[in-house]
Copies of this chain bind each other. A is one copy, B any other.
């Protein structure tokens, strides 16, 4: 498919799709005319990329993470770059930290909201 359709299907602006390509995250083929030609599986990948970016993972790191996600892992396992393993393990740990942190603070916000709601129970009020 071409960039416009991929954009519609993923909700990611064409500008960004080109940007991800520039960052080496996706490499669509080109048709005779020069138009980018995307495979179907890239819909999925682009959505993953978006999610990772929205989670605060920089593109530079996403490049390393992508090969691990939802693929027949046996294929890639052979490389076993000594450094890459380290990078991945570190990133995993960073993510775990982030998760811990986010969970903690999300819960704090949540109970604050509960407190708010309870505080105005006197005035017969709403829910989340």
Contact B109 A68 (CB under 8 A): yes
**Given known contacts A105-B65, A108-B68, A85 and B56 CB-to-CB distance under 8 angstroms:** no
**Given known contacts A55-B56, A56-B55, A56-B56, A103 and B99 CB-to-CB distance under 8 angstroms:** yes
Count of identical protomers in the assembly: 2
Interface residues of A in 94-115 (CB under 8 A from B): 95-96, 98-99, 101-103, 105-106, 108-113, 115
Contact B70 A101 (CB under 8 A): no
| Count of A interface residues, CB-CB < 8 Å | 42
Query: Complex: how many Å from CA A26 to CA B115?
Result: 24
Contact B105 A102 (CB under 8 A): no
In the complex, chain B residues whose CB is within 8 Å of the CB of A99: 99, 102-103, 106
In the complex, chain B residues whose CB is within 8 Å of the CB of A111: 73
Query: Complex: how many Å from CA A111 to CA B48?
Result: 17
Query: Complex: how many Å from CA A49 to CA B98?
Result: 13
